[in-house]
Amino acid sequence: MSTPQTIYESLHHQGFSRRDFLKFCGISATIMGLSPSMIPRIAKALENTPKKSVIWLSFQECTGCTESLIRAHAPTIEGLIFDHISLDYHHTLQAASGRAAEQARENAMKEHHGDYLLVVDGSIPMGNPGYSTSAGISSLDMLKEVASGAGAIIAIGTCAAYGGLPHAAPNPTGAVSVEELITNKPLINIPGCPPIPAVIAGVISYIVTFGQLPKRDSLKRPITFFGQNIHDRCYRRSFYDQGLFANSFDDEGAKKGWCLYKLGCKGPVTYNACATTKWNENVSFPIEAGHGCLGCSEPHFWDAGHFYQALSVPTREIVGTAGYALAAGAAVGVASAMLNKKKKVDATKNHETVTIHDLERTSS
């Protein structure tokens, strides 16, 4: 492998002018959620930063995250991003296959030991290593091996970040997230099913640009993109505040674009950038398309209550529980009633007729 070029060199080589480069830095600032005053710092960093080696491991996943990334609306941006990383291993995107592919991974690991970026999509099965393997290596072993030399890890998609769909009850494969297995490396989660491509791009840009992970929240998500509640940013919020709700997907309320809370929207408990960044060239996002938010970027999103049941509905069955409780309470009540009845009968039996001679204490 040749000596890595800096990102600027790589871009220049492709025919980008200095002006284009600064424009690119501006776009980078935007997608990283940074202010324009940061552009000179970004430019300086990118001029001197060598392309980052990236190893992308896919475990129990659907390739949706990759699809999301490569179908990104602004190919220039994502293209540029790929220009400032060196994607050395990616099942779906790499040309090489078989031994050659694994060789590329091993080379990258050796060459950039301690520095390469590990990107993971998909969860890891702990039930049986055979549930998910590549090149004869189980996901668990592969993750441990590649993670050991990584400078930082990005868990992309809800499966890698929190277990996702494979983790859904009853979790037949014993799926776990990356975070649960690798605790000794800097890690950032970019959850979503799939994550917003611009968010993936923004985070990678940040890491490449500044050589460190962006600020994360308690669920290790970049605060820049996950700091805000969908509900708070939702353009239908005013309908919620007014108490105007769609009751079905084709009623008058739905047509008028009223709040989808009653139809199970998980917006109020979901933190993501969908309501602001949107999807498909800023065209729309699920709520705008008329469907409630599923909360796909939150842990346990498959098990956080029915998709079409409102947030205020308990996630467990309670009618039957109440029935059993009623019966058990009645049993205790009847038992207590019987004790009481006996006590009262005894009290009546023990009653000594009170006469006028019994109204005072006789001094003994």
Partner 1 sequence: MNYVDFLLWVRGPAFQIATAIFIFGLSWRLLEILSLSRKPELAVVRERGIAGGFRTIFRRFLPVDDNTFQRSAFIITAGYIFHLGFFIILLLFVPHILFFREFFGFSWPGLPTPVIGIITIMTLLALIALLINRMRHPVLRFLSGFEDYFVWIVTFLPVLTGYMAFHHFFHYPLMLALHILSVELLMIVFPFTKLMHTFTWFISRWYTGSRAAQKGVQV
Partner 2 sequence: MSTASFERGYNAFKEKIDAPIASYFSSCVHCGMCAQACMFFTETGDPKYTPIYKLEPMRKVWEQEYTLLGKLKALLGISQKLTDAELAEWQELIYGSCTLCGRCSMVCPVGNDLAYMIHKAREGIAAAGHAPKGLIDATKRAVIIGSAMGVKLATLQAQIKHTEHNTGIRIPLDEPGVDYLVILSALEVVNFPEYLEALAKIMKQADKTWTLSSIAFEATNPGLQIGVSDIAKELVSRVINVAEELGVSTVISPECGHAYTAIRWEGPNLIGRSFSFKVQHILEVLDELREQGKLKTEGFEKARLTFHDPCQLIRRGGVIEQPRHLLKMVATHFVEMEDPGKMNWCCGGGGGLVTQEESEELRTKAFNRKKTQLDALEVDTLVTACSNCRIVLEEGFEAYEMEMPVVGLTEMVAEHLVESEV
Question: Site residues (CB under 8 A) for partner 1?
Answer: 218-219, 229, 231-232, 240-243, 245, 261-262, 268-269, 298-300, 303-305, 309-319, 321-322, 324-330, 332-334, 336-337, 340-341, 344
CA distances from 187 to 117, 119, 120, 262 (A): 10, 10, 11, 36
* DSSP letter (8 states) at residue 108: H
Between 90 and 236, name the residue whose CB sits nearer to partner 1.
236
Query: Using CB under 8 A, which of the segments 213-221, 263-271, 321-329, 353-361 binds partner 2?
Result: 353-361
CB of 360 to partner 2, least distance (A): 5
Between 64 and 299, name the residue whose CB sits nearer to partner 1.
299
From the list partner 1, partner 2, none, partner contacted by residue 334 (C-beta under 5 to 8 A by kind): partner 1
Q: How far apart are CA 235 and CA 85, in angstroms?
A: 36
Q: Please report how many Cα atoms fall inside a 13 Å half-sphere around the Cα of residue 189, on the Cβ side.
A: 30
From the list partner 1, partner 2, none, partner contacted by residue 347 (C-beta under 5 to 8 A by kind): partner 2
From the list partner 1, partner 2, none, partner contacted by residue 100 (C-beta under 5 to 8 A by kind): none
Is residue 35 a contact point for partner 2 (CB under 8 A)? no
CB of 341 to partner 2, least distance (A): 10
Query: Which letter, b or e, does each residue of 195-205 get, where b requires 16 or more Cβ atoms within 10 Å of its Cβ?
Result: bbbbbbbbbbb
Is residue 362 a contact point for partner 2 (CB under 8 A)? yes
CB of 355 to partner 2, least distance (A): 7
CB of 329 to partner 2, least distance (A): 11
Helix, strand, or coil here: 57? strand
From the list partner 2, partner 1, none, partner contacted by residue 342 (C-beta under 5 to 8 A by kind): none
From the list partner 2, partner 1, none, partner contacted by residue 19 (C-beta under 5 to 8 A by kind): none
Choose which of 95, 289, 319, 356 interacts with partner 2 (CB under 8 A): 356
Contacts of 128 (CB under 8 A, 6+ apart): 173, 174
Give the number of residues in contact with partner 2, rule: CB under 8 A: 20
CA 291 to mean position of chain CA atoms: 19
Choose which of 289, 319, 327, 347 interacts with partner 2 (CB under 8 A): 347
Between 306 and 357, name the residue whose CB sits nearer to partner 2.
357
CB of 225 to partner 2, least distance (A): 51
69 in Cβ contact with 200 (< 8 Å): yes
Contacts of 277 (CB under 8 A, 6+ apart): 196, 198, 199, 225
Contacts of 318 (CB under 8 A, 6+ apart): none
Q: How far apart are CA 155 and CA 224, in angstroms?
A: 16
Between 289 and 356, name the residue whose CB sits nearer to partner 2.
356
Helix, strand, or coil here: 179? helix
Binding mask 130-169 for partner 2 (x = CB under 8 A): ----------------------------------------
Compute the chain's Rg from CA coordinates: 30
By CB under 8 A, the residues from 307 to 346 that bind partner 2 are 332, 336, 340, 343-344
From the list partner 1, partner 2, none, partner contacted by residue 218 (C-beta under 5 to 8 A by kind): partner 1
58 in Cβ contact with 92 (< 8 Å): yes
Q: How far apart are CA 50 and CA 21, in angstroms?
A: 15
Q: How far apart are CA 73 and CA 283, in angstroms?
A: 10
Cα end-to-end distance, the chain, whole Å: 112
Between 42 and 187, name the residue whose CB sits nearer to partner 1.
187
Count of beta carbons in the 10 Å neighbourhood of residue 3: 5
Rule CB under 8 A: which residues touch partner 2? 332, 336, 340, 343-344, 347-348, 350-362
